[in-house]
Amino acid sequence: MRPKNIRLFIILTLIVCAFTMTYYYVPISKTFLSNIVTNSDKFGILEIYPTKPGGREWFIDMNNPAKDPGFDPASNISHQMDGSWQVSGRLENGKFAGEVRMEVLRLPGSEEWKNVEMTGYAKIIPTTNPNDSLVWSVRGGVHNDTAPCEGTALKGGIDVNGTVSWVKEIWHTGGYTSKRAEAQITDPIVGRWIGWKIVVYNINNNTAVKMESYLDDKADNRWLKVTDLTDNGRWYANSPDIEFYSANCGKAKNYIITNGGPLAVFRSDNMTWNFRDLSVREIKSPS
């Protein structure tokens, strides 16, 4: 082969190799996030966004969660042989009601939870009828009839059948919206460990809210973005006007929850599940 042809052959070979690597590897790098190119938290878990400079970071004390003054499990929790903890419902009037509302509290002098990344690993224990969602909830306060207007929330959840979604709550309990970004993205999650992560932050000069959720389907720190949702005022409460405005919260039916809240909540209903490596971080907003 002539030298000129050899050079041409080498150039063509390099072009084909570059095209092949781009075709096969770029889609994966866009889909799965690697801790090689981003930071990891104290548990070694991938951080999607960096912590806000001077922002609060909360990590559960895996040795003794109950001793943490910033964490209120409000439920029966028990230590497991693998080092995780099991939660089985909230104590009400001396009985467990089936609700799990594990709250990460605003500490005195700290900012409210606003632009946050909220992460945790969970394994739902098989029962006769597990039928609910794991839900990480932010931008709200207490949820009760005494202070209904404080019961705002943005809730990113994953159902036991592998369906993900978001719900907005403008007040408790007459301000719920329909689900958004709903899709089944994996097999049922009962009886196996998964990682669930939500990210919430304001955009457009604090006039809209961006919501993202991520799934670590095999609990191997490979995170897949499964929702990407913006609330810019077109997401309305479902309740009739007479019900919605009965609380006198001074909020429109399409109220955008751009405010922070004193609580970040790991929650479920009517399920028993194990958990580990819970965290909430105030992030530097990408916008």
Q: 14: which residues sit within 8 A by CB, 6+ positions away?
A: none
pLDDT at 88: 87
What DSSP letter does each residue of 217-252 carry, written as one string?
Answer: TTSSS-EEEEEEEEESS---B-S-HHHHGGG-----
pLDDT at 225: 98
pLDDT at 18: 46
pLDDT at 76: 87
pLDDT digits (tens, 9 = 90+) for 35-71: 344 699 999 999 999 999 999 999 999 999 989 999 9
Cα 282 to Cα 103: distance, rounded to the nearest angstrom: 16
pLDDT at 112: 96
Q: Specify the DSSP class assigned to residue 113.
A: B
User: Dihedral angle at the C-alpha atoms of 79, 84, 89, 94, nearest 10 degrees?
Assistant: 20
pLDDT at 127: 73
pLDDT at 1: 52
Interior/surface letters 119-142, b for 16+ CB within 10 angstroms, e for the rest: bbbbbbeeeeebebbbbbbbbbbe
**Homologous superfamily (CATH) for 39-282:** Exo-inulinase; domain 1 (2.60.120.560)
pLDDT at 98: 80
pLDDT at 19: 41
Listed as ranges, residues in the chain with pLDDT below 50 are 4, 11-12, 14-31, 34-37
